Amino acid sequence: MKQYLDLLQHILDNGVKKEDRTGTGTTSVFGYQMRFDLSEGFPLVTTKKTHLKAIISELLWFIEGSTDERRLAEINFGDVAANLVGKKTVWTANADAQGKALGYTNTDTVKELGPVYGAQWRSWIGHDGKAIDQLSDLINQIKTNPDSRRLILSAWNVGEIEKMALPPCHTFFQFYVANGKLSCQLYQRSADVFLGVPFNIASYALLTMMMAQVCDLELGDFVHTFGDAHIYSNHIDQVNLQLTRKPFHKPTMKINPSVKDINDFKMEDFELENYECHEGIKAVMAV
């Protein structure tokens, strides 16, 4: 994962100071790209421990089309909502902020985030009021017209951004088929490079692997393109620590080969092998 460390160093060396909506402040660059050959291993950061279960559960939550943070907790913890009070996910802070903005006082029970990723992936509301399942349409296009230049899924629904707890940071992605291999390019408008980007890399690499299996294709590249890539001012010490560490070899992700429908994947269908990593580095997420 030298590519990720290079991005951290690039921001430290070339970034400019910018204010942001959270009031934390960032060091930021505009425009950057990384590429990962998925046939060479699973691109999970090794210079700090990464919570893979949270990554997989969030991706399954997107694919399911859910926008309820309690449902994400159910997938992540393997429990029913009644037993999840007080348990946190990567979306808890945004869910609580959304609940308070809507006037609710008990944010343990009100966890609806508005039409965020899952809604846009599986039920984008068109001009005629009909829901469009972008993900199913995308899979059908890859299978029937692999040379298309329109293999795109967008989460940036301008008409619904104001209803979302958080406008999409990873805004749209495009697939590309060549020589029997499936590649994916993600455009991320805003990237918390220390905390969020390791999750984003692993999530979209895994999505590409799942899509390749469903579409009976081999693995190509995952290309990660950024707009505003930033390090928050309260993450600088953590970044400098991480840059002193030497990466380990990439692990291997095993996926249950019997799953052929994107809707059928479960937590138990994924197994990470040979993941060697440095210890975790704690940091506070800006909300």
Residues with a catalytic annotation lie at 169
Q: 265: helix, coil or strand?
A: coil
Is 42:252 a contact under the CB 8 Å cutoff?
yes
Beta strands in the chain (DSSP E): 16-18, 26-37, 124-125, 131-132, 152-154, 170-178, 181-192, 218-232, 252-255, 270-273
For residues 196 and 4, the answer to whether their CB atoms sit within 8 Å is no
Cβ neighbors of 255 (< 8 A, separation 6 or more) are 209, 210, 213, 265, 269, 270
The total of other beta-carbon atoms located within 10 Å of residue 133's CB is: 14
Neighbour order of strands in the sheet with 16-18: 16-18, 26-37, 218-232, 181-192, 170-178, 152-154
Name 140's Cβ contacts closer than 8 Å, sequence gap at least 6.
none
